[in-house]
Amino acid sequence: MDILTNTYNLDNLKWDSKSVNEYKGNLIEIVDSIPSFERKPFKIGRSENKNLDVVVNTSDGGIPIATVSKSYSLVQHFDILRFISMAFEKLRYNIEETECDLYLTEYGERMLLRIQFLRGHIFDPGDGHQLIPQLHVRNSVDGNDPLSFELFWYRLICKNGLMCLDTESRLSKRHTKSLKTELLTGYLSKNTSKILSEKETYAKWKQKELNADTDIEILQNWIDTIVSNSWGHNCAERVYSIIETGQDVKVTRFKDKTTEENEDSYIIRVSLEGDVPGAQPAENIYDVANALSWVSSHQNSLPKQYKMMLQVPTMLKELESSLG
């Protein structure tokens, strides 16, 4: 299999133009990669700003990374990991069996942590490629992102953050001086059962076969309208290619200089990038879901990944409705 090695390998991840580094390990091991921070007066010599403090990365020589208000409560990333570990222990989740992808901006001020857990609930929807529950945790120490928790499904074959069908089940909390373990244990107890119930939907999508004689035109129209309007032409081309061939593509658009009649005329160049792991020409709605999930989770912007992943369930509902 030709695994993608260039355009969409996510080597140049960004978070609002900030470079992002990735670390791996379980919940115990990943702590070693977490920087620590400290609030200090925002001043030069004896001149101090009465409204703002500065947050510095004490793990990296005291580099200043942001200014925050005097009332801002700094919640350290390592406090979040300790908080998660305590909640997992109360729920009797095996911390050593967790697998984490930790994303930190260059100076560590923003964190995205994706934790594979509940290995006892891995399931195969019918295509031979397993899904596992994954907890997404976001935090920042620069005041830009509130602490949030969200459950997704993760497709083990292709680093594909599949989706969460219940896109409203997000726990978001403003920074406060203390975090109560019951906050996360309650959220996980309630929403884990919700996400596990989504197995039925994925199995149903796997059984909903696409009719080559009647459904292909509907599928193409859905890509040209729903997908293209939501994600743009380039991403729509990528989705179409994966559905048609099982391969991702690179789409290049440039102005057509051969004609003066239409200044807005463009030439589109599409080049195959390689097989998408676990993908095949779409035979059912579940294959379409995987194509959407691959494209949404393989963007070089973390905020864009998140935004697009949340749009996948609605787009699939539109397709189901059109297919009848």
pLDDT value, residue 3: 34
Confidence of residue 264 (pLDDT cuts 50, 70, 90): low
Give the Cα separation of 290 and 65 in Å (integer): 38
pLDDT band at 259 (very low <50, low <70, confident <90, very high): low
Q: Is residue 30 very low, low, confident or very high in pLDDT (cuts 50, 70, 90)? A: very high
Q: Which residues of 294-313 are buried (b: 16+ CB within 10 A; e: fewer)?
A: bbbbbbebbeebbebbbbbb
Which pLDDT value is given to residue 126?
87
Q: State residue 159's pLDDT score.
A: 72
In this prediction, residue 99 carries a pLDDT of 94
> What gap in Å lies between CA 313 and CA 316, rounded to an integer?
5
Structure-model confidence comparison of residues 214 and 134, the more confident one? 134
- Strands, E, within the chain: which ranges? 14-15, 18-25, 37-44, 47-57, 63-69, 99-105, 110-116, 131-140, 147-155, 160-161, 170-173, 247-255, 266-275
Pairing of strands 170-173, 47-57: unpaired
Q: Is the pLDDT at 256 greater than 80, yes or no?
A: no
Mean pLDDT, residues 58-69: 94
What is the structure's pLDDT at 108?
Answer: 96
For the chain, the structural domain boundaries read 14-41+51-201, 208-323
pLDDT score at 22: 93
The answer on pLDDT for 190 being more than 50 is: yes
Identify the pLDDT of residue 279. Answer: 86
| pLDDT surpassing 90 at residue 178 | no
| pLDDT at position 9 | 47
Position 240 scores a pLDDT of 93
Residue-level pLDDT at 77: 95
Nearest by Cα to 304 from 231, 252, 243: 231
Asked whether the predicted pLDDT for residue 257 surpasses 70, the reply is no
50-59, 66-75, 162-171, 258-267: which has the minimum mean pLDDT? 258-267
Lowest mean pLDDT among 108-112, 144-148, 239-243, 299-303: 144-148
pTM beyond 0.85: the answer is yes
